[in-house]
Structure 1
Amino acid sequence: MGPDFSLEHALQARGYLRIAGVDEVGRGPLAGPVTAAAVVLDPARIPEGLNDSKKLTKRARERLHEEIMQMAEVSIAHASVEEIDNLNILRASHLAMMRALEGLKVPSDYALIDGNMLPRDLTLPAEAVIKGDGRSQSIAAASIVAKICRDCVMLSLAQQHPGYGWETNMGYGSKSHMEALRNLGVTPHHRRSFKPVHNML
């Protein structure tokens, strides 16, 4: 069973009409930003096949991304490598989520946020939903948008810094990425607070 709209329906019954699903991508990589998306779905136009982005094929993700961008309200935001190193990855992830929510053209009145913890500076009503991208269609949509956007960022960075394999590993610590770190050194896009990179320095 994939995610459904039951959490959203329950909130609508309580009077919340603009419900944003929020998710982030990129906590684990050694390089690149962390990216978050906030998505407000139209209950009458929900793309078919929404699911956790990790459970979808590349082709399905791209199709759904296109449909989400056409049918829903979407905001995407990042926290930079510098912010990750200064704040820590959890706080930076929450910062990206806050920015995504703040970037919606019309503010949401409730947020469903993937994970077990809410950003501490969040002011609007919200709840943390553990494994939310497998439970809520709004969060699943956000996971797809964030994944596609961050992959595009890493493809662009891969062209600027060839040799690290970011076009395929997306900044994660794959064997080829680790070898490149040893042979080519640390780039400005590497997270210096992450142990494998810190140890190289």
Structure 2
Amino acid sequence: MALEQLYALGALNHMGELTKLGRRMAELPVDPMLSKMILASEKYKCTEEILSIAAMLSVNNSIFYRPKDKIVHADTARVNFFVPGGDHLTLLNVYNQWVETGYSTQWCFENFIQHRSMKRARDVREQLEGLMERVEIEMTTCNGDSVAIRKAITAGFFYHTVKLGKGGHYKTVKQQQTVLVHPNSCLFEDHPRWLIYLNWFSLLKSL
């Protein structure tokens, strides 16, 4: 399965040997799909945005928190970050807003966001940015163009595509497994026809 995925991503040729793209992907110490997404950002000129998304994905499950005595407030704060296009873009929105506050601890507290997780994401982003010269990628920005960002994401995660079936359930295109949209996803009530996910239970992006 792993070799098949690497071949699909273009990292291996039909002989099982590393391609030029595969060698560039190997320079980045992240999951192959994330690596392909980052490299694809060069084509779509959205490296700044994709690096932020990749960094946020590294701490994705520990960004928001819900104190038992403030669940409604915490859920409202999370929803306020939702943007059209899916959870990847929502994570980017969170990171950009935090940057605009000067990496404020107080802002995190007010928005029920783990400051420690955001600091870790910033560290990961800085490390990835430091590797861009090694893979010969110039830092570019698409100024928030969601189409360019989603194309770069899809270039890396196309292997994780699901389609909404007639019965109202999502099934993976590859293996026809039924998967669920996580209740915390901004797409939970939208039911777009196509999605790209990170894992079986957390569907992340509308195409």
- TM-score band by shorter chain is under 0.3
Which structure shows the higher helix fraction? 2
Which structure shows the higher strand fraction? 1
The answer to which structure, 1 or 2, has the higher relative contact order (CA under 8 A, 6+ apart) is 1
Q: TM-score, normalised by structure 1?
A: 0.25
Q: TM-score, normalised by structure 2?
A: 0.24
